[in-house]
Amino acid sequence: MPTSSPTAPLSTPRAAAVEVLCLWATTHTSIDLLFHSAVAALADIDRGLVKTLVYGVLRQKEYLDAIIRRFSKHPLTKMKPRTLMTLRIGVYQLLFLSRIPESAAVNATVNTLKAAGQPAWLIGFANGLLRTVARSRTTLPTPEQLAEGDRPLLNHPAWLIERWRAQFGPDTTKAICRCNNSEPSLTLRVNCRRTSRSVLQALLEKSGITAANGFYSPSALIVKTFPGGVASLPGFAEGYFQVQDEAAQLASLLIGPLPAGSKVLDGCAGLGGKTSHLAELLPADGVIVAVEPETRRFGLLRDNLKRLGHHELVTPVRSDLQSYAATGPQPFDAILIDAPCSGTGVIRRQPDIRWNRQPEDLAQYQQTQLQILATAATLLQPGGTLVYATCSLEPEENQTVIHRFLERHPQFAVSKATGLLPEPARRLVDGAGFFRTSPADDLDGFFAARLVDQRTL
Question: 177 catalytic, yes or no?
Answer: no
Q: Which of 22, 177, 341, 391 is catalytic?
A: 391
218: closest CA among 288, 281, 309, 290?
281
Residue 448 near residue 373, CB atoms below 8 Å: no
CA distance 133 to 267: 51
CA distance 17 to 54: 6
CA distances from 14 to 47, 57, 92, 104, 117 (A): 10, 12, 12, 11, 15
Residue 395 preceded by cis peptide, ω within 30: no
Give the 3-state secondary structure of residue 384.
strand
Which ranges constitute the DSSP H helices of 207-291?
Answer: 246-253, 273-281
Residue 173 near residue 203, CB atoms below 8 Å: no
Give per-residue burial for 249-264: e unless 16+ CB within 10 Å, then b.
Answer: bbbbbbbbebeeebbb
Phi, psi of 252 (to 5 degrees): -65, -30
Longest dimension (CA), the chain: 77
Amino acid, single-letter form, for residue 287:
V
CA distance 362 to 289: 29
Phi, psi of 285 (to 5 degrees): 65, 15
Q: Specify the long-range contacts of residues 6-13, CB closer than 8 Å, at least 24 apart.
A: 6/116, 6/117, 7/116, 8/82, 8/112, 8/115, 8/116, 9/115, 10/38, 10/41, 10/42, 12/46, 12/108, 12/111, 12/112, 12/115, 13/42, 13/46, 13/47, 13/49, 13/50, 13/53
Give the 3-state secondary structure of residue 436.
strand
Determine the distance from the C-alpha atom of residue 59 to the mean position of all C-alpha atoms in its chain, rounded to a whole number: 13
Phi, psi of 313 (to 5 degrees): -95, -20
Catalytic residue ranges:
391
